[in-house]
Amino acid sequence: MSYPLLNRMHDVSDLKALCMSQLPQLAEEMRDYMIKTLAPIGGHLGAGLGVVELTIAMHYVFESPKDHFIWDVGHQAYPHKMLTGRLQGMQNIRQKGGLSGFTKRSESEHDPFGAGHASTSISAALGMAVGRDLLGGTSHEVAVIGDGALTGGMAFEALNHAGGEKRNLLVILNDNEMSIAPNVGAMSSYLARIITGKPYTTAKDAAKRVLEKLPGALDAAKRVEGHVKGMITPGTLFEEMGFRYIGPINGHDFDALLPTLDNCRKLQGPILLHVLTKKGLGFSPAEEDPETWHGLGPYSLETGKPLSSSNPMPTYTQVFGDTLADFADKDPRIVAITAAMPGGTGLTRFAKRHPERCFDVGIAEQHAATFAAGLACQGLKPVLAIYSTFIQRAYDQIIHDVCIQHLPVVFCLDRAGVVGADGATHTGAYDLAFLRCIPGLIIMAPKDEQELRDMLCTALACNGPVAIRYPRANGLGVELCEPKALEVGHGELIHEGEHGLVISVGTRFADVQQAVRRIRETGKLLTLINLRFVKPLDEALILAHIKPGKMLAVIEEGCQQGGIGEQIAALALGAGWQGKFIHMGMPDIYVEQGTQAEVLADIELDEAAIFARLDQACKD
């Protein structure tokens, strides 16, 4: 397919030069371009396909970058990038040195607010609206939030505040009945009732036309409307929060979108426009399976199927999910919890086998942690599976509601360490640093997939809070055997040697072990310890193998500042050790996107960098 209109889109001014009758053709070209361009590289295809018409209409009516579009999460902003001078860059989106897969302030003046996590757009847009008014500006602030992100508590905090402020603000609710997985909970049902309650709006408009002709009748009707309306349509919630509710309208119909957005642009006060879209529209595989096609790697245009990985080994996520489901077969007290990501955290099998014990709470990590605490109070064994970067949002609940009360909640932190293409917003760099300072919390990091199984067995046997962190990666292909509980607080001695001590934390182990083997072949015999337990720390094992005057190295796939390396250094110095200390971890930067191999090489945490650093230390 050729792109006669799309190829003219060098800036938003080129869009405004089109006639309204040309917009459907532009939308078709944009969809085709996204489907074909992303096929060899992957990306967040489904979300972008669903908002093509909405994005075109927004840019056609408003004046970006003077007017500000704040996309919640930002993964649906691919069409926005295509219309704002970044069309050619789409060929390298989410690749090293390429466009971000999310909105990013440093990338374009048309991205006024960066994103990556959900439920932030309304808060940011309100802040920008207040800033505009304090500075005497005239911009329009437009937040686009999905119905999935609306399940996050922060979105309601912002709605509550914005409704009270009464400032000019437009919130577009992009309702596609999906977050990543199908939406759950009362809010999803609530929005569905709004959709089916459309006849109320029609009846209301017809009644108004009649009552306007009768003296005093319209005022009387308005006084009872508030009481009757709540019984007829649930749209009252947004209006009770101070917003003028408009909709729902078809988000793929320019005849509905353009005049409605133009009217919203002229209205005063906070407005909520409810737009109905279909995730993955225009690509039948994405329409039929929007969860799989939310974000994925390369796929085949011919078959419409994701291309299989060349690595035959199961991922750590799969190993975790299968192991937990097997444990739950034998123990009815085990309960699994996810925050809108059952597939991403490996809980699909668990959900099929134990649906009554698998809870998707929506994009609500804070609630998930305290919900787990409540389950634990009743004698159950809750396992909360959340990405490392998302558990940051539940930090207070981990401390206050779980750890202070010493409740047996198991936090399974997927995507710990380098994640690759999603970049800084999704990199799990900080969990070891912010968790290891919490009293009473056991923290484990497996060296391989079998050890992950053993650690899950250990965690479920503990009578207190436990965290296990593991990467977004395939396993090493070790033989899987029956899980066994580990002795809490004990590391694993792999090699002994007199030329120094190397401590490996988590799944950097394979590269660390290979580097140590290469160095041992040169005659420099290093001791290697697989730490296993970040907390409690196996101080006895470490102190027993520190060699006076010899190298001590700690290698972890987490931030160096606050990392376990600092604690081990303090332990060694406190015991009177003197020698060369090496701490390899993630540097004090926000890690950029790229493949995991590229990122590990850039931050000097791959096998080549580990060998070079240890080898040089042995020679010094």
Q: Which residues contact 287 (CB under 8 A, 6 or more apart)?
A: 278, 279, 280, 281
Strands 169-175 and 141-146: parallel
Phi-psi region for residue 119, left (φ > 0), alpha (ψ -120 to 50) or beta?
left
Please report, for residues 37, 181, 501, the alpha-carbon distance to residue 34 in angstroms, rounded to integers and kept in the order given. 5, 22, 51
Q: Which residues contact 81 (CB under 8 A, 6 or more apart)?
A: 87, 89, 90, 93, 99, 108
- Annotated catalytic residue 279: yes
Q: Which of 397, 349, 347 lies closest to 374 in space, CA to CA?
A: 397
Q: Tell me, what DSSP letter sits at residue 182? A: B
Active-site residue (options: 278, 393, 436, 453): 393
What would the two tokens of residue 400 be?
């206050």
Please report, for residues 492, 529, 544, 559, 565, the alpha-carbon distance to residue 570 in angstroms, rounded to integers and kept in the order given. 21, 18, 15, 17, 9
Sign of the torsion angle spanned by Cα atoms 607, 610, 612, 615: negative
Q: Which residues contact 192 (CB under 8 A, 6 or more apart)?
A: 177
| Helix, strand, coil share (%) of the chain residues, nearest 5 | 45, 15, 40
- Annotated catalytic residue 393: yes
What would the two tokens of residue 8 be?
């003219």
3-class secondary-structure state, position 6:
helix
Q: Is the peptide bond prior to 536 cis by the omega test (within 30 degrees of 0)? A: yes
Pairwise CA distance, residues 426 & 205, whole Å? 46
Active-site residue (options: 31, 104, 278, 279): 279
- Residues labelled as active-site residues: 279, 365, 393
